[in-house]
């Protein structure tokens, strides 16, 4: 592998805020001043959990509501029911306090127009409902949400202050 | 054979050839619809892991239009026809007989225009493959979205249930005089569907 001079110069720059990308059906945990970002939520639901005392936060990109309907659960972070407990244990491992956790949610949209029976069983709505139920069972409060509708969203958690930024096509950025 | 990673070069060549014929047919249909000559660059066909597909077309936040159709019959699956924002507006202008550059945002009229184009393109693509292989393929009424590529792709994958499979990706460029329209064609085949396609082409085993 070739290391270019440009690259080594970049390494010497002062440390700034790192933006950690969270892929689909994945989760990541970070602490201040870093940011967690997930791009292009459609029917998927983005869930952030944040502990304001330690400023540790996590972001989960949920694809499907319920793992019990599937025989193959090789990627548990895909599901709301399995992914949320996984995210919580990772936050605990990174020093966050579970009793302090505050949740924020975005996504769960109905992306397509035109009727099709496969979309009548609206996955977005089911993702939202299952995430809420799982959080309730765990006693975690949902502070804010930006869910439903028919637009895709990008979600960013700022671990500095727990703010969640929502980007939508053709609409001004929103902070929840 | 269509287990992950074992689609071989001969299969890719066959899919490349099918894409060429299918999209050639689609370009002809587009020309008829626009009543203008439409040329097409030789399409590139590839198989990709789903994670890689999210990085295509311009990335998850790229604004695109998407026509989503279900394919029923011998090769069941989901087909997505995707145009980037600029190509979408150009298509609308061409269909409406306006000067290219007139359309700068989507409305209901544009949606139905692009949706219809996607429907025609996919239908003629499928007909070409059907005619060549003798396989029966019917498409459903199209669904439409105009939004972030990542949001559209993930929603389509979830709805079709093909999350863990590989995706057949065909990229092409249509030309209408000096105007270029780049189209991205995705096929999310159901398990076993591609085997039937390869079988019909006589390349199912021992290659």
Per-residue pLDDT tens for B11-55? 778 878 888 888 888 888 888 888 878 877 777 777 777 778 888
Q: What is the 3-state secondary structure (H, E, C) of chain B?
A: CCCCCCCCHHHHHHHHHHHHHHHHHHHHHHHHHHCCCCEECCCEEEEECHHHHCCCCCCCCCEEEEEEEEEEECCCEEEEEEEEHHHHHHHHHHHHCCCCCCCCCCCHHHHHHHHHHHHHHHHHHHHHHHHHHCCCEEECCCEEEEEEHHHHHHHHHHHHCCCCCCEEEEEEEEEECCEEEEEEEEEEECCCHHHHHHHHCCCCCCC
Q: Rounded to a whole number, what is the distance in Å from the CA of B144 to chain A's nearest CA? A: 5
Nearest Cβ partner for B152 among A64, A111, A154: A111
pLDDT at A59: 97
* A&B contacts, CB < 8 Å: 100
Q: Which two tokens stand for residue B168?
A: 């057949």
The residue in chain B having the minimum alpha-carbon distance to the alpha carbon of residue A75 is B164
For chain A, positions 91-110, list CB contacts with chain B under 8 A. 109
Rg of chain A's alpha carbons, rounded to an integer? Answer: 17
- Which residue in A37, A44, A101, A135 is the catalytic one? A44
CATH number of B9-200: 3.40.1550.10
**8-state DSSP, A43:** S
Looking at CA atoms only, how far is residue A12 from chain B in angstroms? 29
CA B25 to chain centre: 13
Active site residue A161: no
Instruction: For an interface test with B, give the residue of A19, A40, A78, A167 to mutate (most B CBs within 10 A).
Output: A40
Three-state DSSP class for residue A56: strand
Q: Are B114 and B144 in contact (CB under 8 A)?
A: yes
Residue A170 CB coordination number (10 Å): 10
Per-residue pLDDT of chain B (207 residues; tens, 9 = 90+): 444 445 677 877 887 888 888 888 888 888 888 887 887 777 777 777 777 888 888 889 999 999 888 888 888 888 888 888 988 998 888 888 888 889 888 888 888 888 888 888 888 888 888 888 888 888 877 888 999 999 999 988 887 776 666 677 777 777 777 777 878 888 887 777 778 888 887 776 544
CA dihedral A147, A148, A153, A157 (to 10 degrees): 10
- Cα dihedral sign for B116, B158, B136, B194? positive
Q: What percent of chain B has pLDDT over 90?
A: 8
Would you give per-residue pLDDT tens digits along chain A (176 residues)? 444 444 444 455 556 889 999 998 899 999 999 999 999 999 999 999 999 999 999 999 999 998 888 877 788 899 999 999 999 999 999 999 999 999 999 999 988 876 655 555 588 999 999 999 999 999 999 999 999 988 999 999 999 999 999 999 888 899 99
A contact residues 132-171, partner B, Cβ 8 Å cutoff: 151-154, 167, 169-170
Q: Are A131 and A47 in contact (CB under 8 A)?
A: yes
d(CA A116, CA B30): 25
A102 neighbors A143 (Cβ within 8 angstroms): yes
Domains (ranges, CATH) in chain A? Answer: 16-175 (3.30.1330.200)
Q: Which of A22, A149, A152 to mutate to test the interface with B (most CBs of B within 10 A)?
A: A152
* B68 part of contact set with chain A, CB < 8 Å: yes
State whether ipTM is beyond 0.95.
no
Q: Is B84 on the interface with A (CB under 8 A)?
A: no
Residue A157's φ and ψ, nearest 5 degrees, are: -105, 125
Point out which residues pair with A21 in neighbouring strands: A37
Interchain pair A39, B51: CB under 8 A: no
Cβ-based neighbour number of residue B23 at 10 Å: 26
Contact B68 A112 (CB under 8 A): yes
Instruction: Classify burial at B103, counting beta carbons within 10 Å of its beta carbon; exposed 0-12, middle 13-18, buried 19 or more.
Output: buried
Tokens of B68: 């989503």
């Amino acid at each position: 592998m070739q290391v270019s001079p440009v690259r080594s110069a970049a390494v010497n720059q002062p440390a700034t805020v790192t933006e950690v990308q969270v892929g689909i059906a994945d989760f990541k945990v970070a602490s201040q001043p870093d940011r967690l970002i997930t791009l292009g939520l459609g029917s998927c639901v983005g869930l952030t959990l944040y502990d304001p005392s330690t400023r540790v936060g996590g972001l989960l990109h949920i694809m499907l509501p319920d793992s019990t309907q599937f025989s193959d659960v090789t990627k548990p972070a895909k599901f709301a029911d399995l992914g949320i407990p996984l995210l919580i244990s990772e936050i605990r491992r990174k020093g966050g306090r579970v009793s302090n956790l505050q949740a924020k949610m975005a996504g769960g949209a109905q992306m397509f127009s035109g009727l099709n029976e496969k979309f009548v069983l609206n996955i977005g709505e089911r993702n939202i409902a299952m995430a809420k139920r799982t959080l309730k069972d765990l006693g975690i409060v949902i502070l804010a949400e930006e869910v439903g509708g028919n637009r895709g969203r990008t979600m960013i958690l700022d671990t500095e202050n727990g703010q969640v930024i929502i980007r939508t096509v053709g609409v001004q950025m929103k902070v929840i | 054979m269509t287990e992950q990673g074992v689609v071989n070069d001969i299969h890719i060549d066959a899919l490349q050839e099918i894409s060429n014929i299918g999209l050639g047919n689609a370009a002809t249909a587009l020309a008829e619809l626009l009543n203008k000559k439409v040329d097409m660059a030789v399409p590139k066909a590839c198989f990709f892991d789903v994670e890689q597909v999210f990085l295509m077309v311009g990335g998850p936040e790229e604004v695109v239009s998407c026509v989503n159709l279900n394919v029923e019959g011998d090769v069941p699956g989901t087909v997505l026809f995707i145009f980037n924002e600029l190509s979408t507006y150009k298509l609308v202008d061409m269909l409406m007989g306006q000067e290219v550059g007139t359309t700068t945002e989507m409305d209901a009229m544009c949606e139905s225009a692009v949706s219809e184009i996607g429907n025609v393109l996919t239908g003629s693509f499928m007909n070409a493959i059907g005619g060549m292989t003798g396989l029966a393929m019917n498409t459903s009424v199209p669904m439409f979205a105009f939004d972030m590529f990542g949001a559209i792709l993930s929603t389509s994958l979830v709805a079709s249930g093909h999350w863990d499979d590989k995706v057949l990706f065909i990229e092409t460029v249509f030309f209408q005089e000096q105007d270029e329209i780049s189209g991205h064609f995705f096929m999310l085949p159901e398990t076993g569907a591609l085997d039937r396609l390869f079988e019909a082409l006589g390349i199912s085993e021992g290659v």
